[in-house]
Structure formats: C-alpha cells, structure tokens
Amino acid sequence: MQTTYIGQEKFIQRGGRIFRITEQSTEAATNAEWADGVLARENVRFPNGRMSHEVANEMLEQAEDTLLDYLCVTA
C-alpha cells in the first residue's frame, strides 16, 4: 500500500487517486493489492474448487467499492 502526504495529512494512494486513511480503507487497499497480485499470475484452482482470478476479481470489486467511500478530490 502506497501512502502520500498532502500538508500534514496522510492518505492512501492507489491508481492515481487518493483516499482518506481509516481502518476500513487501509484494509480495502491491502485487499486490492492482494487481488492485483493474484490477477498478475496464472489462473489456478484453489483447494475449495474456485478459480483464483474469480476470487481476486470479487475481492478487487469489493475493495474498490469500499475505497470509493474514502475518495478525496484535490484541486
């Protein structure tokens, strides 16, 4: 997870966007990073029968939805 400062405030930076840091946004950013890593590798079947890319896409979508709640706009 990459962070940045604007003035004295610390923010999460992801994909050219910044998000307010909270427990939920930090967890979402971590989950999104995990999903990005899984999607960068070959699609494999997990022991429970699900495909890794399917799970990663679901996790990424959920993480991005959560992060939108903490999106900050800068001018």
pLDDT of the chain, 75 residues: tens digit per residue: 899 999 999 999 998 999 999 999 999 999 999 999 999 999 999 999 999 999 999 999 999 999 999 999 876
Beta-bridged to residue 45, according to DSSP, are 51
Residue 36, domain extent: 2-72
**Domains in the chain, number:** 1
Q: pTM (2 decimals)? A: 0.88
Q: Give residue 1's pLDDT.
A: 85
Q: Long-range CB contacts (< 8 A, 24+ apart) of 7-12?
A: 11/72, 12/67, 12/70
Q: Give residue 65's pLDDT.
A: 97
Burial of 57 (0-12, 13-18, 19+ CB in 10 A): middle
Q: Give residue 74's pLDDT.
A: 76
Q: Give residue 30's pLDDT.
A: 97
Give the C-alpha separation, 75 to 65, whole Å. 23
